[in-house]
Amino acid sequence: MGLLLDHHELKQCLIERGSRMHFSQGDFLFQRGDEVRGLFLILSGQVRLGLDGKSSALPSRDLGPGAILGLPATLSDSPYSLTAQANAKTEVIYLARAAMLDILRTHSKLCLEVMNLLSEELAETRNALARIHRIRA
C-alpha cells in the first residue's frame, strides 16, 4: 500500500541507504505478527499483501515496483499487521527500522512525504472497508 510514484526524494534516500534483497516466488518478506525489522521498497517483481494469505473479508493486494511495504509497523515498532509474500522473483530495497528513524530525524521534508504516504494508505483502507460494508449490506 502506499505507492512511491511521486516521492522521488524519499525513494532515492531509501535506495541509497538500504540494502538489496532478492526473494523467490512464494518467499515471505514478512508475516502478520512477526516482530518488525524494517521496511521494503519493491524494485522489481510482485508481492501479495494481505492478512495471512488465506481468504478473508479483507482482500489481498498485489503490489509491484515503487510500492513500500511495512511502513506503519516500522514507524510504530509494532508487529507487522499484514503478510507480504513474493508472487514472482522479486528484488527489494530493505531498510532497517533504526536507519529509517535516522532518516526522518534528519530530513524534515521526508517526514512530510511519509505522512502523506500513511494518509494515502489510511484512505485506501477506509475505502476498502466501505466497499466490504456495501457488499454485506
Query: What residues does each domain of the chain span?
Result: 8-136
Q: What share of the chain is helix, strand, coil (3-state, %, to 5)?
A: 40, 25, 35
Superfamily for the 8-136 domain:
Jelly Rolls (2.60.120.10)
Q: Which pLDDT value is given to residue 62?
A: 92
Residue for grid cell 500513511: 118
pLDDT in tens, the chain (137 residues): 444 345 778 889 999 999 999 999 999 999 999 999 999 999 999 999 988 755 555 668 899 999 999 999 999 999 999 999 999 999 999 999 999 999 999 988 888 888 888 888 778 777 777 877 777 77
What pLDDT is attached to residue 87?
Answer: 95
Residue with cell 540494502: 19
Which residues, 6+ apart, have CB-to-CB distance to 55 below 8 Å?
none
pLDDT of residue 117: 82
**What pLDDT is stored for residue 125 in this prediction?**
74
